Amino acid sequence: MSDARDDGMHFRTCNLCEAMCGLAVEVEGGRIRRIAGDKADPFSRGHVCPKAVALRDVHEDPDRLRRPLRRTAGGWEAVSWEEAFDEAAARLREVQARHGRDAVGVYLGNPTVHHLGAMLFAPPFVRSLRTRNRFSATSVDQLPHHYAAHFMFGHPLLIPVPDVDRTGFFLILGANPAASNGSLMTAPGMRRRLRDLRERGGTVVVVDPRRSETAALADAHHFIRPGTDALFLLAMLHTLFAEGLVRPGRLAGFTDGTARIEALAASFPPERVAERTGIDAAAVRELARAFASAERAVCYGRIGVSTQAFGAVCQWLINVVNVVTGNLDRPGGAMFTTPAVDVVRQAKGRRPGRWKSRVRGLPEFGGELPVATLAEEILTGGEGQIRALVTFAGNPVLSTPNGAGLEGALPKLDFMLSIDPYLNETTRHAHLILPPAGALESAHYDLVFHLLAVRNTAKYSPALFEPEPGAKYDWEILRELRKRMEAGRRPKRVGAWIRRKVQDRMTPERMLDLGLRLGPYGVWGGRKLSREGLSLKRLKRRPHGVDLGPLAPRLPERLHTPDRRIHLAPEALAEDVKRVEAELLATEADVGFDLTLIGRRQLRSNNSWMHNVERLVKGKERCTLLIHPSDAEARGIRSGQPVEVRSRVGAVVLPAEVSDEVMPGVVSIPHGWGHHRPGVRLRVAERRPGVSLNDLTDDRLVDPLCGTAAFSNARVAVRLREPEPA
């Protein structure tokens, strides 16, 4: 175990989820004595959830790997870093020399965005592989947000954030911020924020197939059939136009496409879609009127509307609702942040669809292919077949659709390298595992989540502990691998040569300092803060963080479209409405599966490796199948009984939990479980394995527009699992 730099109280940001909660960490005798919320943090104001307290357990976890491991016929053996780097680079280069650049694939997991070093050094490493077979957790999560933002606002990172602290009407679709503390809406203490909203006379309405923790705090909740949110939003827009409630205000001066939206919505009166969505037409009309008449309103949708076959259309239509009611870019509506490090300005937004996946022809976006294609790209022979794979901070066997199918594909690889601190369900298939130093041993700044926060703030967290002797930071691992992959290659341009030399000398802290200095509050970038521009040195003097003020109107200056206008009806999205109409309003075919499966977020969980922390998994069984009483009665099922859930791709057995929390016809399983695979080294998780939701989700079901996995409405059958005969 590494030693603390100093005993006493330390302040940092929790990096286990998107909320950026400030922590006060008390260290005594070189070990963490206590973790509590930092009441002086201007953003989180003392809020903390159970995950933050578990940072100590993760840091001290005996299962966390500390040295590189090589898989041999006799098991895993420790190797030196130099030997591991040599072998990794040599085998990757060998595969590419024999089979071409695209024979190497790379997958970046969700924790990448929670680490400063990974965010800065993973992209150059990925570019050094020179492969088109790039994948990440984006295509099983937030890709529809990026897709809509690119076509409407000109940049995939220009994602509007609900100004929840000033809104008067909060319409939430397929999201559970009371459990997540916001997702693509960083907002620690969401329960308090929702309570404050209602106490100031505002309204919270939730539309979701499940009466979630957020719905329990709302003024109203409407059940909706999974996957039909696009119809609901089109019916909302129909009402807004038909009743003369469209008032874009100043947005009209730089918005194109309003007439096209009106024409598209004309075909979707609430009465036409009511039966399919399960929401009464009168309720839709009343919601539209209440939203339009509110002084400040915002519509927000997340994972439930993103991970479906119409995710891109849903996120587009949510933005459209905010625009046509004048609730984009104004206080209390959907707004754009002004982050201290402006990654929007520094990251290029490229035209999507530059290439397609080899087997199924799914489109690239942001330089990545949909991960739903990964298994077939490994298993299908021919030019461009993936024969080697690099995974970074990811567990796609549990987090991508048809995980069992991917699990069967990984042993077919010629070589697999995993950069990960755990021997988990995915990395057990690797030939080499390179573990980075722990989160508390690394400095931290949230490059991404400050961009998505409901208030402009900045906070730097120095490393709390010294890394163990011989440990490597994630950015050191990535940099060393990049250098070895690029060895012997001559850059074609002088600029590329200079960039390579600069990258070799830079550290995350130096790059962060440069970003702060060039940012909108920086010493070189523009506005001053308390007569002093931001730099890393000055941010270090503010251990609780800096409050940079509420979100402010940024349009049209912030737009990245060529004409600096909002494109309300991008052609690709507008054309996809035909698919919405053809598929969602058609008579459903009987495919032999009579229930619809959705996931669910749990407060004590975010990534699968958190299940190896006792304090986060103790208590009652949480990996259960939620099933409505009427559906349970029809199948003779009672709470606690084992049930078998079957889909096209697989079957699992888990305990039933009978509850009217889900609507009839819908069942729910939480994500991230399934720790029963042999060969993992997760002692706590193995005692409470649960089952993997993604042993049921179908890798063939994606949003064809952008390739996002359609998790939210998988069709399944459920039956009581009879006990085995004695």
What does the pLDDT look like over 631-655, one tens digit per residue? 999 999 999 999 999 999 999 999 9
Q: Are 200 and 286 members of one domain?
A: yes
* pLDDT computed for residue 725 by the predictor: 61
> Has residue 343 been placed in a domain?
no
Is the peptide bond preceding residue 370 cis, with omega within 30 degrees of 0? no
Match 């009371």 to its residue by tokens: 178
Give yes or no for residue 355 having a pLDDT over 60.
yes
* pLDDT computed for residue 629 by the predictor: 98
What does the pLDDT look like over 82-111, one tens digit per residue? 999 999 999 999 999 999 999 999 999 999
Give yes or no for residue 358 having a pLDDT over 70.
yes
- Which alpha helices (H) appear in 45-115, and where do they start and end? 50-53, 55-60, 81-99
Match 């089109």 to its residue by tokens: 234
Q: Are 257 and 206 members of one domain?
A: yes
* pLDDT computed for residue 500 by the predictor: 73
Choosing from 439, 469, 490, the residue where a domain stops is: 439
What does the pLDDT look like over 556-614, one tens digit per residue? 999 999 999 999 999 999 999 999 999 988 877 667 899 999 999 888 787 787 899 99
Q: At what angle do helices 474-486 and 116-129 cross, to 10 degrees?
A: 20
Residue of 374, 482, 391 whose CA lies nearest to 129: 482
CATH number of the domain at 645, please: 2.40.40.20
Domain that holds residue 85: 69-142+357-439
Choosing from 544, 578, 612, the residue where a domain stops is: 578
pLDDT-derived band at 169 (thresholds 50, 70, 90) equals very high
CATH number of the domain at 37, please: 2.20.25.90
Q: Are 221 and 117 members of one domain?
A: no
Q: Are 124 and 253 members of one domain?
A: no
> Has residue 127 been placed in a domain?
yes
* pLDDT computed for residue 523 by the predictor: 87
The length of the chain is 726
Overall average pLDDT of the 674-690 stretch: 94
Q: Are 112 and 227 members of one domain?
A: no
Overall average pLDDT of the 397-403 stretch: 96
pLDDT-derived band at 142 (thresholds 50, 70, 90) equals very high
What does the pLDDT look like over 483-534, one tens digit per residue? 999 998 877 776 676 777 777 789 999 999 999 999 999 988 655 555 678 9
Half-sphere exposure of 138 (CA within 13 A, CB side): 24
Give yes or no for residue 671 having a pLDDT over 70.
yes
pTM of this prediction? 0.96
* pLDDT computed for residue 494 by the predictor: 67
Q: Report the number of distinct structural domains present in the chain.
A: 4
* pLDDT computed for residue 603 by the predictor: 81
What does the pLDDT look like over 410-444, one tens digit per residue? 999 999 999 999 999 999 999 999 999 999 999 99
> Has residue 448 been placed in a domain?
no
> Has residue 53 been placed in a domain?
yes
Give yes or no for residue 2 having a pLDDT over 60.
no
* pLDDT computed for residue 519 by the predictor: 93
Q: Are 573 and 606 members of one domain?
A: no
Overall average pLDDT of the 174-203 stretch: 95
Q: What percent of the chain has pLDDT over 70?
A: 97
> Has residue 492 been placed in a domain?
no
CA distances from 156 to 80, 201, 366, 482, 702 (A): 40, 34, 8, 26, 20
Q: At what angle do helices 258-265 and 311-324 cross, to 10 degrees?
A: 120
Q: Are 325 and 434 members of one domain?
A: no
Q: Are 92 and 238 members of one domain?
A: no
* pLDDT computed for residue 174 by the predictor: 96
DSSP 377-404: HHHS-STT---EEEEES--HHHHSSSHH
Is 74 or 348 the better-scoring residue by pLDDT?
74
